[in-house]
Amino acid sequence: MAPPNSALVTTEKTNNDFTLLQVHDSESQMFAEEKQKAASPKQYRWFLLLKLQKVLTFLSWLTTGFKSTFASVKKRISLSDTSDEDPKYRGRLYRIIKVFLGLSIGALVIETIAHFNKWNLSNMMIQPFEVQGLLQWSYMAWLSFREDYVAPFVLLVSKFCIVLFLIQSLDRLVLCLGCFWIKFKKLKPTIEADAYDVEDPSSFPMVLVQIPMCNEREVYAQSIGAASQLDWPKDRILIQVLDDSDDKSLQNLIKDEVCSWKEKGVNIIYRHRLIRTGYKAGNLKSAMSCDYVKDYEFVAIFDADFQPNPDFLKLTVPHFKGKPDVGLVQARWSYVNKDENLLTRLQNINLCFHFEVEQQVNGYFLNFFGFNGTAGVWRIKALEESGGWLERTTVEDMDIAVRAHLNGWKFIYLNDVRVLCELPEAYEAYKKQQHRWHSGPMQLFRLCLPAIITSKISTWKKANMIFLFFLLRKLVLPFYSFTLFCVILPFTMFIPESELPLWVICYVPIVMSFLNILPSPKSIPFLVPYLLFENTMSVTKFNAMVSGLFQLGSAYEWVVTKKTGRSSESDLLALAERESKSSNEDKIIRWNSESGLELLGKLKEAEMPQKKKKRNKLYRKELALAFLLLTASARSLLSEHGLHFYFLLFQGLSFLVMGLDLIGEQVS
């Protein structure tokens, strides 16, 4: 043992003839060891304190988040307006959902008791003398009844819905392949070279432009302005502003706007009906009955929020030249507010697929598709020979398209010609729009089925119209979406014998959603929200489909979709410059875009009357389904289903967000 304050020197000879000297100071070594022992507990305590601080910070953030969320939800519920959610919107479907919710909650309570008591009766045989208590006997009896009677029925219905799901998915895949073929071959409609002599205005056909509107205070000026600037010989065009507004002050504003453009040399007239029947169809029918319409060959239709480019007519009307069997040329929609909020982003995905894939494929390969009601040009002869505008449904555009197709007229779709319009920014407006869009086709199907069967078109065209156009895309899609994913799937959590496979609830829907997003590749990050959103909207579409099919009261309602009057920056600046030239007010010039937009916004706000603030709604069907799905997800958690649990959880939360009206424009 070395004495204190001494150093131990050792030598070691290596293979390279070098000698290594190591000095071992016992006192310094002991000091280092004692320092390390003293520092370790201190560092460990600091480490624990830092970890504890992070945990407390996270818990504080989580608590604050939950508190603010529950506070906002509580405030939303207390301030929400349910006046529009009357029985005609809820009806029997809401009562049925409530019954299912009650059954699922009761089943969850029983399953929870069975889980904690470890009554794994489905995997082992229990003798009667082993049953302990009435509750266990009741649970055992339920398992036997479920296996013998309930599971086979649920399994049968789920298989039927899965078959419909696969057929509809196959249809969507075929449409995508058709679109890919069009893109790959660069196929598009063509026109004759020099269809009209630019130097001879008399060679241009007579075109009637119609702008039907009803209480469109926010958008009337921009739609009239856009139509008045269409590049077409002034003596070969007439613009009809078809105003169905019931507000006298608004009528005067629209009249003044029409007069201002008339003073600038635009051939434009204002029409107002005294008897406002038939909604948009009645408005268009009344306008077509004017004597001067017989002088015109084509009619272009624009809804009040649509803003065609000046060259719209020169890009569409020439497609009629040399094609006497073409009755309609349809342009594509483009949106000024597609990035405004999550709701508009998800709508953009749906509509991009509709125009890029459905309309383009059907237009090129079948020469038939549903008229979109606006941004299209009709041959007036085709309208007249097909019976004109009828007021029998809320989808007058689809009605005239079906009748024209049955009379042998062909349609052309132009994917490259786009017209600016506006998407609904509030969930209430979007919900009502979708109700009309999905109830109307079922009304029309009932009315048109005999005419389709007895028409002189080919058997293939009849089959396409009945089975693909109406049944598969208008009836089957909302039926299986709601039944399979919102009813059967949560029920299978309580009936394991009929559990849906993963490819039905996960893999195939994700693939189909990915195909839907392909026409708008910038929306790929919204793949999962889009899938959840579509399933959530299925309750509205299913309810609308049933009401239209069975002619229920809500099928005949027409609610004008709410507009905000948004425009692109270039449109706003152009309007600002026109106004600045006609008055000596503040100049708004093109290079000063930010101040120009701000000033124009203030001028518009000053002209707009102050309206009473609206409140957000509560949607009870969505809320009931949210709790149904969340109850099923809790049952799935007990069984450790994995993906089933996550799907039900997030789908339930999606319904909850919709039911509380927490998506889209917030108005309260």
Tell me the pLDDT tens digit for each residue of 497-551.
888 999 999 999 999 999 999 999 999 999 999 999 999 999 999 999 999 988 8
Pairing status of strand 298-301 against strand 207-213: parallel
Cα-to-chain-centroid distance, residue 634: 28
Identify the CA nearest to 496 among candidates 108, 151, 112. Answer: 151
Element (H, E) at 207: strand 207-213
Residue with tokens 């029997």: 92
Which conformational region is residue 518 in: left (phi greater than 0), alpha (psi within -120 to 50 degrees), or beta? Answer: alpha
Active site residue 661: no
Q: Around Cβ 237, how many Cβ atoms within 10 Å?
A: 24
* Least trusted range by pLDDT, from 301-315, 408-422, 497-511: 497-511
> What is the edge-to-edge ordering of all strands in the sheet holding 237-243?
268-272, 237-243, 207-213, 298-301, 376-379, 326-335, 410-421
Cα–Cα dist 657/455, whole Å: 47
pLDDT at 101 exceeding the cut of 70: yes
The CA angle 349-350-356, to the nearest 5 degrees, is 85
* Domains in the chain: ranges and CATH: 201-425 (3.90.550.10)
- Band of the pLDDT at 558, cuts 50, 70, 90? low
pLDDT at 462 exceeding the cut of 80: yes
Q: What is the pLDDT of residues 584-636, one digit of tens each?
A: 434 333 333 444 444 445 445 555 445 455 566 789 999 999 999 999 999 88
Cα–Cα dist 510/505, whole Å: 9
pLDDT at 58 exceeding the cut of 80: no
Cα–Cα dist 155/491, whole Å: 11
Q: Looking at residue 591, what is its pLDDT?
A: 35
Q: What is the pLDDT of residues 434-461, one digit of tens each?
A: 999 999 999 999 999 999 999 999 999 9
Tell me, what amino acid is at 159?
Answer: K
Tell me, what amino acid is at 273?
Answer: R
* Least trusted range by pLDDT, from 338-347, 592-601, 657-666: 592-601
Cα–Cα dist 663/238, whole Å: 41
Strand partners for 331: 414
Q: Looking at residue 198, what is its pLDDT?
A: 67
The CA angle 400-402-407, to the nearest 5 degrees, is 90
| Tokens of residue 484, six digits | 């399979």
Q: Looking at residue 561, what is its pLDDT?
A: 72
* Least trusted range by pLDDT, from 76-90, 95-109, 243-257: 76-90
Pairing status of strand 410-421 against strand 326-335: parallel
The CA angle 422-426-430, to the nearest 5 degrees, is 70
Residue with tokens 């009667």: 128
Cα–Cα dist 586/564, whole Å: 24
Residue 611 three-state SS: coil
The terminus-to-terminus CA distance of the chain in angstroms comes to 86
Cα–Cα dist 664/427, whole Å: 6
- Catalytic pick among 244, 303, 399, 661: 244
Strand partners for 160: none
Cα-to-chain-centroid distance, residue 653: 17
Cα–Cα dist 313/207, whole Å: 9
The distance between the two most distant Cα atoms of the chain, rounded to a whole number of Å, is 126
Is the pTM for the entire model greater than 0.85? no
- Band of the pLDDT at 87, cuts 50, 70, 90? very low
- Catalytic pick among 303, 305, 397, 399: 397
Q: Around Cβ 50, how many Cβ atoms within 10 Å?
A: 10
Cα–Cα dist 405/604, whole Å: 44
Active site residue 416: no
Contact (CB, 8 A) for 378 and 298: yes
Identify the CA nearest to 512 among candidates 546, 487, 480, 544. Answer: 480
Q: What is the pLDDT of residues 171-212, one digit of tens each?
A: 999 999 999 999 999 999 988 777 776 667 888 999 999 999
Cα–Cα dist 189/323, whole Å: 12
